[in-house]
Amino acid sequence: MAVGLRLALAVGALALSSSVWAAKKVDLDYHVRLLPQSDQAEVRLTLAQGSAVRSLDFDLGDGSHYSDFKADGQWQLTPGKAARGVWHPAADKASLTYRVRISHGRKNGSFDTRMTPSWALMRGDDLVPPAKLDQQDGIELVSRLEFELPNGWKSVETAWPRIGKNKFRINNVSRLFDRPTGWMLAGHLGSRRTRLGETEVTVASPLGQGMRRMDVLTLLTFIWPQAQAVFPRHPSKLLIVGANDPMWRGSLAARESIYLNSRLPLVSESGTSPLVRELAQVFGRVNDRQHSDWISEGLAEFYAIELVRRAGGMSDERYESLQKKLAKDSQKVTTLRGSQISPAQIARAVLLLQELDREIRIKTRNKRSLDDVQRGAMHLESVDTKEFVQLAESVIGESSKVLDTELLQ
């Protein structure tokens, strides 16, 4: 489907959704009790009126992280490598309770998520797995999340609006099923907060983990105006969480939240910033498909360099040095297509996007840039390589010589 038509349909759907205003509200409460002695959380979903929902069909992955299901109504579990659980709630007030393992280890001994006797760093996406919701017409679920912390644990942080001590409002306008996604952190925490533009920014980590919270806030303050100029998004909250080894030594964006290992430099020796790259992922929200990972990964890395440069944090000499390194790292790359691309392919994607940015600026006499393509991609639910080319050419006003390359075949 052409980009213009998809954009028109998206606008039409938005107008249609705003007219459906008389929905009946039904409470959906998530209660999470953290159990460090067993490395688990007990999760309870409670519908104030079970008859509002015909079914919730959960994707449980390989099923190994979830156990002890109890349900009011019917519960059907299909085990296996693609495990599923289908809940048909009882008519009145109905609950589904289960346990989920928090710590997820890697082969090298590090952890993606972890629970210790004094803190837990986790993802809401794991606490409540994705599900297909089949609900009655005219119903709007009003979702809240509440944590029950172990004795002595002081606080909990999520990227959702706080409505009580350990309670949050879950509202995702892009999804029918509101579930508490994003990075979360609970326990004995140290945190720093500031307001940048319209966004409340929190940097939090367990005590004693070496997280440079003020350094993170300072870098964000420095590049924030440049980020706002590119990405016209103003989330109400942004949460950055971090911890030391044996947590995975990397960085990863999730919904309005970022994980950053506290040993990572905020700006690496090569001149790029893991923190700014993940910020570009959070703000950009470009979803690619059909072996087009180069788009989201390339754009995030492009802006990790560009935002620091535009803010005055990178000299021309260092920028030239970085270009040479990108060229050297990617000299053997023959294609950018693939569902999981290598660091060398990402480096080549950055060079391609830099060339495209220059082409757009020259052909439009500096009136437009790659920023316009990025903003266009943000408006699409997802984008593939063909649509990205169409989008860029609509910004240029003619065909792109840069994108007419075997790298994208």
381 confidence band (pLDDT: 50, 70, 90):
confident
pLDDT, position 288: 87
pLDDT, position 268: 86
- pLDDT (tens digit per residue) in 245-282: 999 999 999 999 999 999 999 998 877 899 999 999 99
What is the value of pTM for the model shown? 0.90
312 confidence band (pLDDT: 50, 70, 90):
very high
CATH of the domain at 90: 2.60.40.3650
| Last residue within a domain, chosen from 179, 198, 215 | 179
33 occurs within a structural domain: yes
200 occurs within a structural domain: no
| Last residue within a domain, chosen from 144, 160, 179 | 179
Whether 50 and 167 map to the same domain: the answer is: yes
159 occurs within a structural domain: yes
Identify the weakest region by mean pLDDT among 62-66, 71-75, 283-287: 283-287
Whether 167 and 35 map to the same domain: the answer is: yes
pLDDT, position 10: 54
- pLDDT (tens digit per residue) in 221-249: 999 999 999 998 889 999 999 999 999 99
Cα-to-chain-centroid distance, residue 164? 24
Q: Which residue has the higher pLDDT, 311 or 381?
A: 311
In this structure, the chain runs to a length of 409
110 occurs within a structural domain: no
- pLDDT (tens digit per residue) in 341-366: 899 999 999 999 999 999 999 999 99
- Based on the structure, what is the number of domains in the chain? 2
- pLDDT (tens digit per residue) in 198-207: 999 999 999 9
pLDDT at 120 over 80: yes
pLDDT at 385 over 60: yes
pLDDT at 339 over 80: no
- pLDDT (tens digit per residue) in 133-151: 999 999 999 999 999 999 9
pLDDT, position 141: 93
390 occurs within a structural domain: yes
Location of structure tokens 């940097």: 203
pLDDT at 20 over 80: no
Nearest to 306 by CA among 329, 332, 326, 289: 326
157 occurs within a structural domain: yes
- In this prediction, residues 27-39 reach a mean pLDDT of 97
pLDDT, position 19: 43
pLDDT, position 336: 94
62 occurs within a structural domain: yes
pLDDT, position 21: 53
210 occurs within a structural domain: no
Q: Which domain holds residue 33?
A: 25-101+124-179
